C-alpha cells in the first residue's frame, strides 16, 4: 500500500504543478514556474496545443496500463502464489495483439501529426511580407513592400521601463496587423540563428546562404516575445524577438510614421514610431 500512496502523491503533485503552470502562463511571454505552453495566438499554435493534449492523453493511458500490468504480474505471478511456474512458451493471439495494437496507436498519432506538419507549410496568400536577417547578435527586419528596414536590438536591463520583461525587450519591435497572414523570410549574415516565437508556434533556423520561409496569423493584439533558439555564439542569450500585433488602423499609422522617419534618416524618430 505504501507504493500506491507514493504514486498518488507523485501524481497529485504533478497535477498541481501542471495547473499552476497553466494558471501562471502570461500572454506572449514565459512566466515563473510555467510548465505548459504559452497561450496560443495563431491557428498553428492552437493545432500544436490540441495535438500535444491528444498525445499526452494517449501516452498517459499507455503508462497507466503498463503500470497496472506490472503491478498485476508482481501480485499474481510471484513465487509465493506460484510455487510451480507456468511453462507457457508463446501465445499467438497475444503476440498478434501486442504487434497490431501499437501499430494502430502509431497510425492514430501519425495522422494528426502529418496534418499539423502540412498546415505549417501550407502558405496562405500573403497580406504582409517581412524578411528577418540574423546577425551576431541582433535581428534586422525588412518590409520589402513598404521600403522599411531597421535593426532590433535587446534593451539592456539597466534601461528597462516598468513592466518590460528582462532579456526579451527590444528597442524596435516588429509591428504587424491582427488577423492578417504574415509571410516571414529568414536569412543569416554569419552563423545559424533561429527565429522562434512560442505563442505563434514558430521555430525555424536562419541559415547563411539560404532563404527559409514561415508564416503566422496573429489572432489577438498584444506583444509576443521569442528568442534565438540556435546556439550562435557568445551573446546567443541576448538576441530576443518581439512582435507587436495591432489593429489595421494602428498598423497603417505606424507605417506612415516609420516611412516618414526613414525618409528623413532620423533614427530617433524611427524608434519613436515604434512607441
What would the pLDDT profile of 93-140 be if each residue is shown by its tens digit?
989 998 999 999 999 999 999 999 999 999 999 999 999 999 999 999
Domains of the chain, start order: 2-120 (1.10.287.90), 128-273 (2.60.40.420)
Read off the pLDDT of residues 159-178 as tens digits, 9 standing for 90 and up: 999 888 999 999 999 999 99
d(Cα 98, Cα 1) in Å, to the nearest integer? 30
Alpha-carbon span 132 to 216, nearest angstrom: 14
Q: Which phi and psi angles does 102 have, rounded to 5°?
A: -60, -35
Nearest alpha-carbon partner for 132 in 198, 204, 181: 204
No. of helices (H) and no. of strands (E), the chain:
5, 10
Q: For 79-100, write each residue's pLDDT tens digit.
A: 888 788 777 788 889 899 989 9
Amino acid at each position: 500500500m505504501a507504493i500506491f500512496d507514493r504514486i498518488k502523491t507523485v501524481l497529485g503533485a504533478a497535477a498541481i504543478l501542471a495547473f499552476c503552470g497553466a494558471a501562471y502562463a502570461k500572454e506572449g511571454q514565459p512566466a515563473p514556474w510555467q510548465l505548459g505552453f504559452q497561450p496560443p495566438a495563431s491557428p498553428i499554435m492552437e493545432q500544436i496545443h490540441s495535438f500535444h493534449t491528444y498525445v499526452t492523453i494517449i501516452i498517459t493511458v499507455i503508462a497507466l496500463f503498463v503500470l497496472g500490468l506490472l503491478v498485476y504480474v508482481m501480485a499474481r505471478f510471484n513465487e509465493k502464489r506460484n510455487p510451480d511456474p507456468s511453462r507457457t512458451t508463446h501465445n499467438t493471439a497475444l503476440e498478434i495483439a501486442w504487434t497490431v495494437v501499437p501499430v494502430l496507436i502509431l497510425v492514430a498519432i501519425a495522422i494528426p501529426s502529418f496534418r499539423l506538419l502540412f498546415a505549417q507549410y501550407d502558405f496562405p496568400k500573403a497580406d504582409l511580407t517581412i524578411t528577418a536577417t540574423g546577425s551576431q547578435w541582433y535581428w534586422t527586419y525588412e518590409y520589402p513592400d513598404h521600403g522599411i528596414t531597421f535593426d532590433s536590438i535587446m534593451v539592456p536591463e539597466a534601461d528597462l521601463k516598468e513592466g518590460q520583461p528582462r532579456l526579451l525587450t527590444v528597442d524596435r519591435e516588429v509591428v504587424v496587423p491582427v488577423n492578417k497572414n504574415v509571410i516571414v523570410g529568414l536569412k543569416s549574415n554569419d552563423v545559424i540563428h533561429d527565429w522562434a516565437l512560442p505563442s505563434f508556434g514558430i521555430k525555424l533556423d536562419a541559415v547563411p546562404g539560404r532563404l527559409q520561409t514561415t508564416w503566422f496569423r496573429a489572432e489577438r493584439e498584444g506583444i509576443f516575445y521569442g528568442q534565438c533558439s540556435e546556439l550562435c555564439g557568445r551573446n546567443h542569450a541576448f538576441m530576443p524577438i518581439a512582435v507587436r500585433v495591432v489593429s489595421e488602423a494602428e498598423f497603417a499609422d505606424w507605417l506612415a510614421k516609420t516611412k516618414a522617419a526613414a525618409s528623413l534618416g532620423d533614427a530617433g524618430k524611427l524608434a519613436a514610431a515604434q512607441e
